[in-house]
């Protein structure tokens, strides 16, 4: 069949749905009624209401295991900012991952949920006194130093007998990532210390002057949603180059190299993703070669995937509230939007929502799926939905597990959706829906 013939025939909505970006457990026992983790999404919508976030526990755990299989020699830290709750913390602990946190809040939640503090790394370009005090009080494993002004306060807070392992965040000068707002490997953004202008070396020299600070290695994080291994391979070469210079200048051999996260995933069928196994192979080869050439021992690798662990395990489910045809466009408005998923508005991310809960029999038609918020930019997706889509229908958005709820807001006092875990045919509530009482309890004025 040629593309011309295909284009001439309206696409029937009854074509088997492309589930390639859905959790691996997804089945469709009855057409139009997909089940994730053995639980039909329509049943979850009935039982917990909408909007609702469904998280496939098996998919989260399998993604952790895939990283450990790909990087058996490395320490794998889950980047908590992608999505965090107590169950997620427990799953990471059980799977043997560490955690990467960037605030006292994430850190305290993890430790009070029972996560071992020594397996936690604290990041941040602007750590508050409270962040540092919490990190020292809870005994965080490592702190990543992001700038020269952090050194003296940290050493002072530790006192003369205190000890803290630290890494230094280096900017390797590599442009990678799906959007300017999530590129962090270049010189023109706020994170880290430049390798090329000598700032990294300068800060490292100052850390080495502080006996309380034990520098264990270098850290870099290139950005997010990177789908090629090449920037990581370049980063390895540059970081090993810096390690060799530090050995020559200071006589130190750093035992750790943290390459951050940013591993890209597919949001829509056909999009590329970064395969951890391929990444591991290429990074391992480059690290071995670069260290051999520099006559350095191979440092222990640390990696920090966030999105690649949580993203594909989540599905957001909404009810359609209104369908409006204006001129050439059809707007399908759902009962959530930019308050639970600000990513399309922030950086133009594109999703592939689909109808669930009833068989789709009409041909697909292009629609704009919008939220319920008071902004014209509250657009969730440009999509193709059956032409009879109507209020009361359910829409599901796959790949909703990372950077949705963790970036959610209380805009319009709609309240943030609950999170429901599914596994082996059972659904259970992990995080309940935010209600007006939650929001109004903070409002203590008259």
Ligand X SMILES: *Cc1c(COP(=O)(O)O)cnc(C)c1O
Instruction: Could you list the residues known to form a binding site for pyridoxal 5'-phosphate, using ranges.
Output: 262, 304-307, 403
Residue 260 C-beta: closest distance to ligand X, Å: 4
Q: Is 261 in the site for ligand X (CB under 6 A)?
A: yes
| Phi then psi dihedrals of residue 18, to 5 deg | -80, 110
Tell me the C-alpha distance between 316 and 72, whole Å.
Answer: 32
Q: Is 82 in the site for ligand X (CB under 6 A)?
A: yes
Check 102, 291, 374, 435 and give the catalytic one.
374
Other CB atoms within a 10 A radius of the CB of residue 194 amount to: 16
Residue nearest to ligand X (CB): 306
Binding segment (CB under 6 A) for ligand X, from list 19-27, 74-82, 109-117, 381-389: 74-82
Q: Is 263 in the site for ligand X (CB under 6 A)?
A: yes
Annotated binding-site members for substrate: 307, 343, 347, 375, 403
Question: Which residue, 172 or 261, has its beta carbon nearer to ligand X?
Answer: 261
Residue 224 C-beta: closest distance to ligand X, Å: 3
Q: Is 100 in the site for ligand X (CB under 6 A)?
A: yes
Question: Which residue, 93 or 100, has its beta carbon nearer to ligand X?
Answer: 100
Q: Is 372 in the site for ligand X (CB under 6 A)?
A: no
Return the DSSP state at 84: -
Tell me the C-alpha distance between 369 and 355, whole Å.
Answer: 12
Residue 368 C-beta: closest distance to ligand X, Å: 27
Active site residue 102: no
CB of 339 within 8 A of CB of 410? yes
Binding segment (CB under 6 A) for ligand X, from list 78-86, 154-162, 352-360, 424-432: 78-86
Q: Per residue in 362-389, is it b (16+ CB within 10 Å) or e — as a string? A: eebbebbbbbbbeeeebbbbebbbbbeb
Q: Is 119 in the site for ligand X (CB under 6 A)?
A: no
Q: Is 124 in the site for ligand X (CB under 6 A)?
A: no
Binding segment (CB under 6 A) for ligand X, from list 64-72, 157-165, 267-275, 298-306: 298-306
Q: Which of 119, 142, 307, 373 binds ligand X (CB under 6 A)?
A: 307
* Residues linked to residue 39 through DSSP beta bridges, in sequence order: 36
Q: Is 103 in the site for ligand X (CB under 6 A)?
A: no
Annotated binding-site members: 262, 304-307, 343, 347, 375, 403
Q: Is 260 in the site for ligand X (CB under 6 A)?
A: yes
Q: Is 304 in the site for ligand X (CB under 6 A)?
A: yes
Secondary-structure percent of the chain, ordered helix, strand, coil, rounded to 5: 35, 25, 40
Segment 209 to 228, residues that bind ligand X, using CB under 6 A: 221, 224
* E strand segments, 231-313: 256-258, 300-303
Q: Contacts from 132-140 at CB under 8 Å and sequence distance 24+?
A: 132/157, 133/104, 133/157, 134/104, 134/107, 134/108, 135/104, 135/107, 136/162, 136/164, 138/107, 138/108, 138/111, 140/107
CB of 258 within 8 A of CB of 299? no
Residue 279 C-beta: closest distance to ligand X, Å: 12
Name the token pair of 399: 């790949």
Residue 357 C-beta: closest distance to ligand X, Å: 31
Residue 402 C-beta: closest distance to ligand X, Å: 6
Q: Per residue in 54-73, is it b (16+ CB within 10 Å) or e — as a string? A: bbbbbbbbbbbebbeebbee
Pairing mode, strands 364-370 and 256-258: unpaired
Residues marked active site are found at: 374
Chain contacts with ligand X (rule: CB under 6 A): 79, 81-82, 100, 123, 221, 224, 260-263, 304-308
């Amino acid at each position: 069949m040629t593309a011309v013939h295909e284009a001439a025939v309206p696409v029937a909505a009854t074509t088997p749905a492309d589930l390639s970006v859905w959790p691996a457990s997804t089945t469709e026992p009855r057409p139009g009624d997909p089940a994730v983790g053995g639980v039909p999404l329509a049943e979850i919508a009935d039982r917990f209401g909408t909007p609702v976030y469904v998280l496939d526990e098996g998919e989260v755990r399998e993604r952790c295991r895939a990283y450990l299989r790909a990087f058996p020699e490395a320490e794998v830290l889950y980047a908590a900012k992608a999505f965090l709750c107590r169950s997620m913390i427990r799953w990471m602990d059980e799977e043997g991952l560490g955690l990467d946190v960037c605030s006292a809040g994430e850190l305290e939640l993890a430790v009070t949920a029972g996560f071992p503090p020594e397996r936690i790394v604290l990041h941040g370009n602007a750590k508050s006194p409270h962040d540092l005090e919490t990190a020292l009080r809870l005994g965080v494993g490592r702190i990543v130093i992001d700038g020269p002004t952090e050194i003296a306060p940290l050493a002072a807070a530790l006192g003369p007998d205190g000890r803290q392992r630290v890494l230094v965040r280096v900017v390797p000068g590599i442009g990678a990532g799906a959007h300017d707002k999530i590129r962090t490997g270049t010189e023109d953004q706020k994170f880290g210390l430049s390798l090329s202008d000598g700032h990294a070396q300068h800060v490292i020299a100052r850390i080495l002057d502080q006996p309380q600070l034990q520098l264990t290695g270098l850290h870099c994080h290139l950005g997010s949603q990177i789908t090629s291994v090449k920037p990581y391979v370049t980063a390895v070469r540059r970081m090993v180059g810096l390690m060799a210079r530090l050995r020559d200048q200071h006589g130190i051999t750093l035992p750790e190299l943290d390459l951050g996260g940013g591993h890209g995933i597919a949001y829509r069928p056909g999009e590329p993703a970064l395969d951890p196994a391929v990444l591991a192979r290429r990074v391992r080869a480059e690290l071995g070669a670069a260290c051999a050439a520099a006559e350095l021992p191979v440092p222990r690798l640390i990696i920090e995937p966030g999105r690649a662990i949580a993203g594909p395990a989540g599905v957001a489910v909404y009810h359609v509230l209104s369908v409006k045809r204006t001129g050439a466009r059809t707007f399908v408005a759902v009962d959530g939007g930019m308050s639970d998923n600000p990513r399309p508005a922030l950086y133009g991310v594109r999703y592939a929502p689909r109808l669930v809960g009833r068989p789709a029999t009409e041909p697909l038609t292009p629609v704009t799926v919008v939220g319920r918020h008071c902004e014209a930019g509250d657009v969730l997706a440009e999509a193709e939905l059956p032409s009879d889509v109507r209020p009361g229908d359910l829409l599901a958005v796959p790949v909703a597990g990372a950077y949705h709820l963790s970036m959610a807001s209380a805009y319009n006092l709609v309240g943030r959706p609950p999170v429901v875990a599914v596994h082996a045919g059972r659904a259970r509530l992990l995080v309940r829906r935010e209600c007006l009482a939650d929001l109004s309890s903070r409002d203590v004025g008259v």
